[in-house]
Amino acid sequence: MSLPFATALRESLRQGYTLRDLRADLLAGITLGIIAVPLAMALAIASGVPPQYGLYTAIIAGAVIALSGGSRFSVSGPTAAFVVILLPVTSQYGLGGLLLATLMAGVILLLMGLLKLGRLIQFIPAPVTLGFTAGIALVIASLQLKDFFGLQEMDNTAHFFIKLLSFIDLLPAISWGDLLVGLVTLTTLILWPRLKTPVPGHLPALLLGTALALLGPGLLPGFEAILLGDQFSWTLGDESGRGIPPVAPSFILPWLMPGADGEPIGLSWDLFAALLPAAFTIALLGAIESLLCAVVGDSLTGTKHDPNAELVGQGLGNLAAPFFGGITATGALARTAANIKSGARSPLASFFHALMVLACILIFADWLSWLPMAALAGLLLMVAWNMSEAHHVLRMIRIAPRSDLLVLLTCFSLTVMFDMVLAVGVGIVLASLLFMGRMAQVTESRTLSEEEHKDLQLPEKIACVEIAGPLFFGAAEKTLGRLGQVSSGIEGVFLDFTQVPSLDVTAMESLHTALQELEEQQKTVVFIGLQPHLILKLRKAGIRSSEKVHFAHNLAQASLRWQNEQRLKDAPDEKTGPTP
């Protein structure tokens, strides 16, 4: 059995990789790099860390995941989905805590891939994913109010509702220069797709926003817009500057990076225990996002991804990134779609995109410091709107059963009011409970009526119980409880298991108890239509053929066996001779 590693790259090379394919991947990578640079910086800022750490994520995690993953066209890097998880971690534990949480999530993702759990992610129901993604979109949008309106006194780490109240209070202090830059950027992003040009809208939107921010003070009195270089600076040895440092990511030890108090975060069991819930949520959300991204890529290209290899790639990427200052990464839907539209042929396009981001750091770092914060906020507002999938949410509200609607609204509300860790956990548990309730309703048992008894020519003093559906802990007690209601005049019970596909240990224990009760009443039990794997399960549970327990393939065989046993029971004893 092959190791789930780099299957997408191996498959691409196996099919033949030409110079034309290389050229197409290179051009797609350059296009993606242009898109990824502002997005990576904006997402890092939204996660509570300086912008260069988002770029380091796109470089390291993007390259590692591309070369080791299982999706040919997926592009990985920092994504909006993680902002609501990462920001609380950064606020409480600083950059060092965020890098450690990413490292732990990478280990979990790697184990999920090696244990071949990739297919299980598809069982997370749509109301859960739609609920928390819509909640994430709303939270991300609220995080952009500060920069979009130029409200520097606003606290982005505050609770959602407190933040909204603070926004209302600060409305008189709006910076009209920032607001105008943000509106120009956002309007360009909305209208640009109508032109149907191959140039992605991010580039013209940011160029227009930046031009307005730089030229506005000379054209409009009192115009002022905050730039990236005004809020972030760097120092390396004796050198310092505005914006981001013009150097490649270098090797670091995540636990030596500063915590919330500015001191190295260190390593301790208490710290691991505190970060574990966030790490599990990061890993689960990363798995969902990356596999969803891979599925979208497959639907657009007709290819097929390897989910386990993709999880291995995501794990390796998130393991490697923190050692170079990278934060959490996963598959990005928008960048994957842009990759395909740009003509990518293999995972090397995503690898080239990482190299393009690196080139931008080394060559254009000074230029990036002139990007307006309001323009980056406008960019993330567009990302949040696309992420919300408002039309899907409205459609589900319109057509979904009340139970599914309850799950969606619960996940949405918990994400907005509390955090993603709680929302994902409660959402999955609630969806699982509702699913088990539905499955319990599907599983039924019934005793054949007297008319059916006669039509099937069943022996007298026999009760035939039909069971249909999976017998698991949610349905076992209700379904098998009928066996205890067999009347005293009955000498045998036929259990028709023809429509039972599975049994769990709770059902086997309930069945064992029911058989003991029937044996105490001197009743014979015949199992009918049990599938071979279920017979093996019953044998392991101690339920075997005996004087009072028999197995038959169908109802006719069960009736014949019963009649033969009754003849033997009623036959005269050979030694004493016939009864006078």
Q: Which domain holds residue 207?
A: 19-434
491 and 410 share a domain? no
- Whether residue 294 is contained in a domain is answered as yes
Beta bridge partners of 242: 233
Give the HSE-up count for residue 411: Cα atoms under 13 Å, Cβ half-sphere.
26
* DSSP 8-state assignment for residue 258: B
299 and 394 share a domain? yes
Residues of the chain with pLDDT under 50: 574-580
Count other C-beta atoms under 10 Å from residue 274's C-beta.
Answer: 16
511 and 541 share a domain? yes
426 and 473 share a domain? no
- Whether residue 27 is contained in a domain is answered as yes
235 and 348 share a domain? yes
- Whether residue 579 is contained in a domain is answered as no
- Whether residue 4 is contained in a domain is answered as no
* DSSP 8-state assignment for residue 73: S
* DSSP 8-state assignment for residue 87: H
448 and 427 share a domain? no
| Domains of the chain: total | 2
Beta carbons of 210 and 233 less than 8 angstroms apart: no
pLDDT value at position 482? 64
398 and 454 share a domain? no
Count other C-beta atoms under 10 Å from residue 19's C-beta.
Answer: 7
217 and 245 share a domain? yes
φ, ψ of residue 525 in degrees (nearest 5): -120, 130
Specify the DSSP element, H or E, that contains 270: helix 269-301
- What ranges in 115-201 are assigned the alpha helix state H? 126-143, 145-148, 160-169, 176-191
> Which of 415, 434, 453 corresponds to the end of one domain?
434
- Whether residue 190 is contained in a domain is answered as yes
> Which of 434, 468, 483 corresponds to the end of one domain?
434
401 and 493 share a domain? no
pLDDT value at position 129? 87
